[in-house]
Amino acid sequence: MNGLFVAGGRALLGHELVETSLSVADGQIVEIGTINRSSAPSLDAGDLLVLPGIVDIHGDAFERQMMPRPGVDFPLNVALVDTDRQVIGNGITTVFHATTWSWEPGLRSGDNARGLLEAIEGLRPRLAADTRFHLRHETYNLDAEDEIAEWLSARRVDLFAFNDHMDATVASLEQPHKRQRMVDRTGLSGEAFDRLVERVTSQADDVPASIARLAAAARQAGVRMLSHDDDTPEMRKAFRGQGVAIAEFPVNEETAREAASGGDAIVFGAPNVVRGGSHTGWTRASDMIAKGLCTVLASDYYYPAPLLAAFRLAADGILQLPRAWDLISAAPAQAAGLTDRGMLAQGRRADILLVDDRLPLRPRIIAVIAAGRLVHLSEPGRLAATPIARREAAAAE
């Protein structure tokens, strides 16, 4: 399907909802407010919202398709195809799979990171969502530095994040339930896991220099960087000084304010908004949004969350829907350097959602257009020579 006409609907143009129609061809929005005079199929958007596709710069829920239970693996190509259906069904047309490469074996090992990168590269033409690779580097994983630098140089990494969960790992060793969950994820015995943690933590003095070298490699390659769970303003300043301009899940308001003062993109999790708070007990995302200290929402661990979060913010009176939608579309696209998407405008990539908003807290995706292709449709009767298109054509005679 090369062309498509989206007839009627309340389209988000800039920061306003406007009754209009869109013409799509060759993967782009070619005209707005025009009459369908071609043979292109028409999609009836009457009574629906017409919104830009969601851009998700951090989501790791695909791990549940890879390993639905500890020690139970499924092929990566099966996991990615299933994940593609999930993201598209939730309105995500651009997805960055946040892949952790840790010092651990198992789910977050180097072998899994390599396999996932190769699978994404191989499957990308077959996937409906524009699927990209967000590498989450555990900074104590010093043995991986050279290979990661090669990936950055070759531009195989689309976003690069610095993670440091070592303090939390060490603290969890004294909590049997958390410790066992980590042990199960690695496939090691408890004793072997403890020895591994001891060996890795002994290299702490080498971590800052490794971060500096990898940040330089990413800058050289033009790969945008994030720092994860910054917990002090000083930490955020230090990362910004190395070109890391995206603050991902700052732990407290002081750190988020430092990020805002430096003009950084500030990412929080959309599940935090939907649930009314962080599952870790940290910063409440809705409060940060109300204070202007959040610019991007990401799916984090739950793909339905961005869509639900935008409507939750509107229902709670925190932001009007057009501003809330920016957090999951235009702003993440800008943070990731994707200038061709995130809004409905002539010449932009045709990533378009048709959404039934009659139940404000339970929006329903009716149709998804990704790069000009209709890839999801829950009401097939809307695809036709629609009454709306015929009325508009008659009015123009």
What's residue 115's pLDDT? 93
* Verdict on whether the full-model pTM lies above 0.85: yes
Spatial distance between the Cα atoms of 327 and 188, rounded to a whole number of angstroms: 40
pLDDT tens digits, residue range 315-334? 999 999 999 999 999 999 99
What's residue 106's pLDDT? 81
Going across the sheet that includes 49-52, the strands are 16-19, 10-13, 49-52, 352-356, 364-370, 373-377
What's residue 302's pLDDT? 96
Residue type at 217? Answer: A
Domains identified in the chain and CATH numbers: 3-52+344-396 (2.30.40.10), 54-335 (3.20.20.140)
Look up residue 318 and give its DSSP letter.
S
Cα torsion 133, 137, 142, 147 to 10°: value is 10
Residues in the chain with pLDDT values less than 50: 386-397
What's residue 281's pLDDT? 67
What's residue 226's pLDDT? 98
What's residue 396's pLDDT? 41
Spatial distance between the Cα atoms of 165 and 96, rounded to a whole number of angstroms: 21
What's residue 72's pLDDT? 83
What's residue 166's pLDDT? 77
pLDDT tens digits, residue range 328-368? 999 999 999 999 999 999 999 999 999 999 998 999 999 99
What's residue 385's pLDDT? 53
What's residue 365's pLDDT? 98
